[in-house]
A and B are shown apart, each in its own frame.
Chain A
Amino acid sequence: MIRKKICMLGSYAVGKTSLVQRFVEDVFSDRYETTIGVRILKKQLQVEGADVTLMLWDLHGDDEFQRVRPSYLRGASGYLLVADGTRADTLEKVAELHDFAGSHLGDVPFLLLINKRDLEGEWEVDGEMEERLKRLGWSIHHTSARSGDGVEAAFSELAHRMVRG
C-alpha cells in the first residue's frame, strides 16, 4: 500500500474542485475549504500493480484575497497546476504557482491541466503558450471537468510519475 499527497493549485474558478470531483469518489466535506482554505479528497487506484491512495489537497484558489498557505504544500509528492483555457491570465498565474510550489517542494512531479476543454472555441490560451511551457519540460493535459475528458488520464499520469519516483 502506497499513499501519496497531491496538491491542486490554480487561480480562483479555474475548475479545480470540479476536476477532483470528477476524479474522486469521496468528498470529505465542502465546508472546510472556506473554513481553513483546503479541502481534502481521496482517490484509490492501481499503479503498476500497486495499490495507491492519493490524498488530494484541493487548495483554495490563489487570488488577491487569499494566498496559498505554504504549509499545505509540505510533504506533497506531486502537484497539479490548473488553468482555465478561456482565461489566459490563469496560465500566467499557474507559472507563479509553479515557482511557489517548486520553492517549497523541490523537484517533484507535476502536471498542468488546462481546463474547460468543452469550451475550446472560447479559449484565450493558444498553442504558442503551451509550446513554450512544453519546451520547459512541462507535461500539459487538456481536461474538461464537465465532460470528464482527460481527467482520469491526467491523474493517472501524475500517479505513475510519483510512484516511479
Chain B
Amino acid sequence: MPDAEKGAAGEEPAPDAKPELEQLRELLVGHEQRELRELRERFDRAEVTAEDVQRVLPDAVLLRSRSDDQLSEALTPTIEGAIEGSVRRNPQALADAIFPVIGPAIRKSIREAMSSLLESINRTVEHSLSPTGIRWRLEAARTGRPFAEIVLKHSLVYRIEQVFLIHAETALLLEHVVAPTVATTDPEMVSSMLGAIQDFVSDSFSAGERDIQTVEFGELTLQVASGPHALVACVVRGISPPTLREEMQQTVEDIHASRSKDLRVFGGDVAPFVMTRPSLQGLLVEQRAEKEKKKNRVGPAVLMVAVPVVVLGLAIWAFNSYHASRRWSGALDALLEEPGVVVIEADLDDGVHRIRGLRDAAARDPLELLQQHGIAAETVDARWEPYHALEPSLVVRRARTALAPPDSVQMELRGETLVVWGRADHAWIERAEAEARFVVGVTALDLSTLIDEDAEAARSRAGNLSNRSISFAPGSARLDYSYSRTELSRFCDSIDELVDTALFAGLRVRVVVHGGKAANEDDPRLAAARAEAVREWFEERYFGATPAHDLVVSGSEAVSWDRNGVLLGIELVDRDGAIVPPR
C-alpha cells in the first residue's frame, strides 16, 4: 500500500485482521481477479496456440477468399508440393481418389473424338461423290472459293468460328480461340480494329460507351458481349442461335469473376488469360443442317413397321377405290343402257353416289339397278325428273300398264303401231281400241291377229244352230204339228244362249227362215207360206220378250229346198252391219 494511503489510514491494521480482509476481497472481487490473471498470462505469452488458430481459421479463410486471390496464391505452392509429394510416395492413393472421374472423362473424350471423326468422314463422303457434292464443287470452281467453304455455306445452320477475349480499355487481345479449319486474319489486329471501330461509333453517335453488339458482314456476324473490363466477341457464320448472347454474357461474367484482379490491373501481360481458353472454347459450337434432318429421322425399326402398314393401307385403299370406281362405272353403264333412264350428271364424292337425270315411269327402278351392281341404297343420292321415253319396249310396257291385257295377249310396236295378238274377250278389245291412242308412243292399233274370244264363241254356237229344219205336214203350211213346235221351242232356247253370247261379242243374231216344199207338192206358195208361218211363230212366241236388235228374223221366201218344211239359218251381224260367218 502506498505511503499516502497509509497516512490516510493513520495506523497499521491489526495482524489478526488480515485474514478477514483477504476473505472479504475474495468474496467481492475474487472472480474478476482470476480473469485478470488469465488475460495477463495470455498477453505475456507471445506465441499463438493451435487452439487459438483452430477457432478462427475457417472463417478467416472464407473471408479472405472473398476479398481477393492472395490466399489461393499463397496456398498454391504448398498444395502443389503436397500433391507432388503424395504422388511420389504413393501414386495409388491419388489414382484411387480421381478414379471415379478419370474414367468417364477419358471415355467422353474418346467418344467425342470418334464422333467428330465419323462425322467428318461422313461429310466428306457425302459431299464428294453425291450430285450435291459435284454441284458444290462446280460452285467452288466458279466462285474461286475453297470447296470446304462452299460445303459449310450450304450445310451449316451456324458455326461460331472465332472467339475473342478483348481488354475493354486498351482493345488489346487477351485470348483468342478458333474453330478447326477456319482461316483467320491476325486476331490482335482484329481486336484493336474492333476497339477502334467501337470508339469511332461511340464518338460519332455520342453513345457514351462502347456498345456495339452486332456487326453483320456477308455470311458472318460479329456478336459482342461486354463486361466492365473485358468483352467477348464471337464471329458467327450463318444464323446466330438465339441463346448465343446469353451464353456469351455468362462467359464474360465468369471470366470477370475468375480473373477479376488480372483484369483490373492489366498492364499488357496476357499470360494469365490462357486460363480462359476452356470457357472461350465452350462457345465454339456449330449446328449443321444435316444434323437437324437426322434428328427428325425416325428409327429403322419404326420404319420397318410403319412402311409396310402404310403400303398395305394404301394398297387396300387403292383396291377399294378401284373396285368402288369400277362398281360405280358399271352401274352407270347399266343405267345409261336402261330404257327410260337418262343420266345427266353423276358423281362419286366421299362415298356418296350422286345422280341427276330423267326417268320414265315405266322404266325400271334405277335404285334397284344400282343395288344389283353393288351400290348400297344408303349411299345413293338420286334426283329423277319424269319424262316419256319412246323406246319400243318402253311404249309396249307403257301400253301394257295402261291397257292391262290378259296374259293371253301379246303386244309389239311396229313403227308407231301397236300390234296386238293372242286371245282376249270382247270387252278388253273394245277398251283397248278406245284407250290405245292415249298411250304415248302409240298412234295406231292393229288387232287383226287378235282373236275375240266372245265372237268366236258366238260364231261357234251360231254354226251349231244353223241349218236346222222344221218339218210340216205334206201340203200344209200350218205349225200345228206338235213335233215341229217342240223343235222350234228347243231351237229358241239355243237362240237365247246364242244371243247372250253374241251380246258379249257385240254381235246381233239374225235368224233366216227359208221355206221349202216337197217335189210332190204342187202348190207353189206353200214354201213361202211355211216360212211365213215360222216367222210369225217366232214373232208370237219369241220376239215378244227379246229386243229386236238382238235378233232379226228374215225370210219367208221359198227356197229350192225339196223338203216339206223350212230351213233355219243363223247369221251374226256386227255393229257395222257386216255379217260374221258362223263356224
CB < 8 Å neighbour of A36 from B189, B197, B267: B197
In the complex, the answer to whether B196 meets A3 with C-beta atoms within 8 Å is no
A residues near B (Cβ < 8 Å) are: 1-5, 26, 28, 32, 36-38, 40, 42, 52-53, 55, 57, 69, 71-72, 74-77, 162-163, 165
Interface residue B378 (Cβ < 8 Å from any Cβ of A)? no
| Chain B residue contacts of A40, Cβ below 8 A | 189, 192-193, 196
Contact between A5 and B172 (Cβ–Cβ < 8 Å)?
yes
A74: B residues at CB distance < 8 A: 169-170, 199
- For window 341-358 of B, CB contacts with A under 8 Å fall at none
**Contact partners of A163 in chain B: CB under 8 A:** 268
The residue of chain A having its C-beta at the shortest distance from the C-beta of B172 within the complex is A3
- Which among B197, B200, B269 has the highest number of chain A CB atoms within 10 Å? B200
- Residues of B close to A1: CB separation below 8 A: 269-271
CB nearest neighbor in B for A38: B196
CA distance A165 to B268 in the complex (A): 11
Most buried by A among B167, B189, B271: B189
**Chain A residues closer than 8 Å to B186, beta-carbon distance:** 26, 28, 42
Chain B contacts of A77 at CB under 8 A? 170, 267-268
The answer to whether A36 and B172 have CB atoms under 8 Å apart is no
B interface list, Cβ under 8 A from A: 167, 169-173, 186, 188-189, 192-193, 196-197, 199-200, 202-203, 267-271
Cβ–Cβ contact B268 & A2, under 8 A: yes
Q: 18 additional contacts, CB 8 Å, given A1-B271, A55-B188?
A: A1-B270, A3-B170, A3-B172, A4-B172, A28-B189, A36-B196, A36-B197, A36-B200, A42-B186, A52-B268, A55-B172, A55-B189, A69-B199, A69-B200, A71-B200, A74-B170, A76-B170, A165-B267
The 6 lowest CB-CB distance pairs between A and B, nearest first, are: A75-B170, A71-B199, A75-B169, A36-B200, A3-B172, A2-B268
Closest residue on chain B to residue A75 by CB atoms: B170
Q: How far is the CB of A74 from chain B (nearest CB, A)?
A: 6
Contact B193 A69 (CB under 8 A): no
Residues of B within 8 Å of A3, CB to CB, are: 170, 172-173, 188, 268, 270
Q: Which residue in chain A gives the minimum CB-CB distance to B191? A: A55
B272 CB → nearest A CB, Å: 11
Query: Contacts of B188 on A, CB cut-off 8 Å?
Result: 3, 42, 53, 55
Taking CB atoms, residues of chain A closer than 8 Å to B199 are 69, 71-72, 74
* A57→B271 CA distance, assembly (Å): 23
Among B172, B269, B271, max chain A CB count under 10 A is at B172
B176 to chain A, nearest CB (A): 12
Q: Which of chain A's residues have a CB closer than 8 A to the CB of B172?
A: 3-5, 55, 75
What is the distance, in angstroms, from B539's C-beta to the closest C-beta of chain A? Answer: 153
Q: Give B277 Cβ to nearest chain A Cβ, in Å.
A: 14
A3 to B271, CA, bound (A): 10
Q: What is the distance, in angstroms, from B356's C-beta to the closest C-beta of chain A?
A: 79
Q: Is B171's CB under 8 angstroms from A75's CB?
A: yes
- A32-B270 in contact given A5-B170, A5-B172, A75-B172 (Cβ < 8 Å): no
